[in-house]
A and B are shown apart, each in its own frame.
Chain A
Amino acid sequence: MNSLDPRVIRLPDIGEVGRINPKPALDQFGTYEVFVLPKEGKPFQHEGIVHAPNLEMAYVLAKETFTRRFTCASLYVVNTLDVFVSPLSEGNQNVYDQIPQILNQNSAKVNYEIYHLPKRGKQHVHVGRVSASSPEEAFSIAKEQFQKEKIVYNVWVIQSTAIRYTMNEEKDLWLTLPEKKFRDAAEYKGGEKLKEFLKKSKR
């Protein structure tokens, strides 16, 4: 192809100009929800999604999609289908009021991570972990443990085994992040150069 971009000139001719075989509806990768720990001592928060063919690839792709800028101490991903979602409340209604208290079940228990939406429009934030025998029970236990005065608008529950966590030995993935100054606005101070230029052009 003729272009000002040498990379475009090098593109191979492939297919037919202006035509693409439409993809069958919904025939695409699934989505994975991405949670980031901005720094140690803070909670994990939901940052968005990636499209990926499986959990491990979702982790690999989420790392640069969501943690190439700013600070990061850890990251994890989970299939969207593995997130259990409460109703959504509004105004001064606490969503926990809509979550039923259920009797403690006696079957085998596993860990669930619990997330709150503290305000509509904000991100879901990790508040803790409970041990329960079903997602419903996890919601119920979360209600006992995490319902405070502050209004919660939405609760997510994720079984811990469904999550691809960052392993301890992987924590050095973000080691040089603070040093990548070329991605940082503060690195582009033109003030001095500008002043010098203005002084010169006044003369």
Chain B
Amino acid sequence: MSNNAATIELLYKMADDQLILGHRNSEWTGFGPILEEDIAFSSMAQDKIGHSLALYTILEQLGERAPDTVAFTRKANQFHNCILTELPNGEYDFSLIRHFLFDTAEALRFELLKNSSFEPLAQVARKVRGELRYHTLHANTWIKQLGVATEESVSRLQGSLNVAIPYALGIFEESPFEKELITSGIFAGEHELKALWINKVEEVIGETNLQLPDWKLQTPILGGRIGKHSEYLQLLLDEMSEVFNIDPTAEW
């Protein structure tokens, strides 16, 4: 039974991350810097919403409420996404840096989950590997190219990186169930994921003119996983559920 609670906690934070960041990234649709990039960024936002739906569907099978209800009626303090995902889009440099930092972690997380003892999650992880291959190819290509291009592009990315890193470290905020998840073979845990992530981020950023901060001096911005969010999340949720809440019992 406690395994169940651990799995539910893991699924909620993953699903909420994907829903909120997918929503944020969809705000760029029609506003992107290049037509082709507008299209690519929208596809990845759709993928994220699709991942969140797949995870909420597993949750429903575990006895939680229906995906639409869970996504469109909870309050901010009931969401478990990391704060990084809810921050406003800012300019494209911030959106790209967030996309790179988050999707690197996401791809590694799903990689670890491919062999999860919780089969439904392992199945999702195996299925989305191609989508995540694209997301990381996209993120790495942009970061590597803009990260060496012009003074302006390097300084913009650097500024966004400095802002985003403490929030990105909040992705790995540990849950009360880390030990159970690890020993039951459901998930290798945030600690291991973070180590893999730091390696990968260093590898990509190492190919650019960008500087990573000294990890030891960074204070992760935590709280998202336990429902303590920035002021931006409730505003996002109010907007997202505006039509749904005209009549939550209606079919749209």
The answer to whether A and B touch directly, with their CB atoms under 8 angstroms apart, is yes
A61, B88: Cβ atoms under 8 Å?
no
Main secondary structure on B side of the interface with A:
helix
A152 to B151, CA, bound (A): 50
B40, A180: Cβ atoms under 8 Å?
no
A180 to B39, CA, bound (A): 16
A56 to B239, CA, bound (A): 37
Which A residues are in CB contact (< 8 Å) with B156? none
The contact size tier of chain B is 20 to 34
A176, B130: Cβ atoms under 8 Å?
yes
Closest B residue to A63 using CB positions: B134
A175, B130: Cβ atoms under 8 Å?
yes
B36, A50: Cβ atoms under 8 Å?
yes
A68, B133: Cβ atoms under 8 Å?
no
B88, A65: Cβ atoms under 8 Å?
no
Q: Which of B36, B88, B129, B138 contacts A52 (CB 8 A)?
A: B36
A58 to B43, CA, bound (A): 16
A residues 44-65 touching B (CB-CB < 8 Å): 50-54, 56-57, 60-65
Residue A6, interface by CB 8 Å: yes
A residues 166-186 touching B (CB-CB < 8 Å): 170, 172-176, 179-180, 182
A40 to B239, CA, bound (A): 44
A64, B27: Cβ atoms under 8 Å?
no
B141, A180: Cβ atoms under 8 Å?
no
Q: Which of A29, A51, A173 contacts B134 (CB 8 A)?
A: A173
Q: Which of A57, A170, A175, A182 contacts B127 (CB 8 A)?
A: A175
B residues 3-57 touching A (CB-CB < 8 Å): 27, 31, 34-37, 39-40, 42-43, 46, 50
A175 to B130, CA, bound (A): 6
A105 to B186, CA, bound (A): 63
Residue B131, interface by CB 8 Å: yes
Q: Which of A60, A179, A182 contacts B138 (CB 8 A)?
A: A60
Which B residues are in CB contact (< 8 Å) with A29? 34
Residue A200, interface by CB 8 Å: no
Closest A residue to B91 using CB positions: A12
Residue B62, interface by CB 8 Å: no
A174, B50: Cβ atoms under 8 Å?
no
A6-B239, A50-B36, A175-B131 given; 12 more Cβ-contact pairs under 8 Å: A10-B88, A29-B34, A62-B36, A64-B43, A64-B134, A172-B133, A173-B133, A173-B134, A175-B129, A176-B128, A180-B50, A182-B46
10 interchain residue pairs of minimum CB distance: A175-B130, A172-B130, A61-B36, A64-B40, A64-B43, A50-B36, A173-B130, A65-B36, A60-B141, A64-B39
